[in-house]
Structures are given as C-alpha cells and as structure tokens.
Amino acid sequence: MSEERVGAHQLVEVRGLRVTDALRSTVYEMRHSPSLAGAVEAADMAATSDLVSRDELAVAVAAHRAWTGVEQARRALALMAENSWSPAESRLRLRWLQWSGERALLCNQPVFDLQGRHVGTSDLLDARAGVLGEYDGDDHWNRERRRGDLSRLERFQDLGLEVVTFVAGESDRDVADRLRGAYGRAALRPAADRAWTLRAPTWWQPTTTVALRRSLEPAQRRRLLGRQQPAA
C-alpha cells in the first residue's frame, strides 16, 4: 500500500484496471527497490521494453527530488542501460562495473569485421580494452544453442576480441578472477590483431536505444525485435 500523491495524468486503464503509467511506476520501483541493483534492473527492463527512456526518467526523477528514495533513483539512473536484454545481464554489468570502476560497458552491441559483415552481438563489451562478456543462462545449454554460441565466440576471438563467459551462481570473487584474467590476456594482444569494428555498414538498422526502436515501423519491429513486444 502507498499513500503517495498520484496525478490524474499518471493513471491509465489496462484491461479494466486503473494503474499508474509506465514512467510513474518505473520511478516508484527505482525509489523503493530494496537495493541499488534492483533499482537499476527495474530501469533497464522498462527501457528494454521501450516503455521509458533515460531522458524521460531523468525528467521524472528530477521532479521527485524531495520524495523518499529519490537519491537511489538518481544513482540508478546513472547506471542504467537502454539495451540490456535480461535482468541477469543487468546484474552482471553492475558486478563488472563494481570490479572495473569507470569503464564504459556497451550492452548488446553489434560487432562487425572490417569488411562490414555482422560477426555477432555481444552481451557486454568494453570496446577500449577489447574484452567481450557473455552470460550463459540455462537456455544456453541445449545442444543446438550451445553449438551456435561456441561458433559465435570463436568468430569474436578470431577477430582479436578477448571473450569471457559467465554462468549463474558465480560469486563476486569468481567474476573478478575471470575478468582479471580476460583483461590480462587482452593487454597482451597486439593492436594489429584488432580486426573488428563497431562502425555499422550503411545497410544496418541500429536498435540500441529506446529512441531508435520507437522509430521503427511495425514490420521492421517484428523483423528486428522479435524478442520484444511493442510497448503498450
């Protein structure tokens, strides 16, 4: 139960039930989550579904400057990503950032070879260091999925990226040790071995931000974002 103020403009009807809209609800979750990680996860997942954008959240958080939990919401806003595809990816990103500090991590970033061919899309990528991170959930362990994963990771490595794979249940120490080893190996790779780029060819349709995804036509959205349903 909550007795916080709600404006009439923040209420919508969904299947006959009056609820707060996506923006108001996301900010509420960010403010009242038991942890900063939970607040970031709420923001990430709302953005991934194109219900809110970082800019929209920033305006809303600023408007709640005196409300309970707003400091946590501000911190979560600084850490959120608009293109995290699962809560597990969001949690891994935060653990990686906790270990590495201020390194910029890209979420689900398409990677291309120097001829403009799409090699694959990485869960997490530190482009400066050339370290690529993958999270393997339970759905990655069937034979066909695993075969595809291994083939894709080999292509990344052949182009000069250092790949590190994480699985559920690893401790913070496990994650730190794995990252430390990956960064150490990446530092030994000659710059001349870098045969990959993030520069997309002209035919590529980018979808890494809320604004880009919202701009898609319905047919484009169905083709490019089959994993996502259009925002209501």
CA distances from 29 to 67, 76, 93, 201 (A): 13, 11, 19, 38
Q: Where are the domains of the chain?
A: 8-79, 87-197
**pLDDT for 50 beyond 90:** yes
User: Positive or negative, the Cα torsion across 163, 137, 212, 76?
Assistant: negative
Residues 120, 113 contacting (CB under 8 angstroms): no
pLDDT value at residue 232 = 42
pLDDT value at residue 12 = 93
The pLDDT of 179-188, averaged and rounded, is 95
Per residue in 197-219, pLDDT (tens digit) is 999 999 999 999 999 999 999 99
What CA–CA distance (Å, rounded) separates 123 from 125? 7
Residues 34, 42 contacting (CB under 8 angstroms): no
**pLDDT for 94 beyond 90:** yes
Q: What fold characterizes domain 87-197?
A: Endonuclease; Chain A (3.40.960)
Instruction: Read off the amino acid at residue 197.
Output: T
Per residue in 116-128, pLDDT (tens digit) is 999 999 999 999 9
pLDDT value at residue 191 = 86
What CA–CA distance (Å, rounded) separates 173 from 122? 23
pLDDT-based confidence at 8, cuts 50/70/90?
confident
% of the chain residues with pLDDT over 70: 92
What CA–CA distance (Å, rounded) separates 104 from 118? 22
Per residue in 19-37, pLDDT (tens digit) is 999 999 999 999 999 999 9
Rounded to the nearest integer, the mean pLDDT of the chain is 90
Residues 111, 124 contacting (CB under 8 angstroms): no
CA terminus-to-terminus distance, the chain: 25
Per residue in 130-163, pLDDT (tens digit) is 999 999 865 545 666 667 678 889 999 999 999 9
pLDDT value at residue 138 = 53
Per residue in 100-113, pLDDT (tens digit) is 886 789 999 999 99
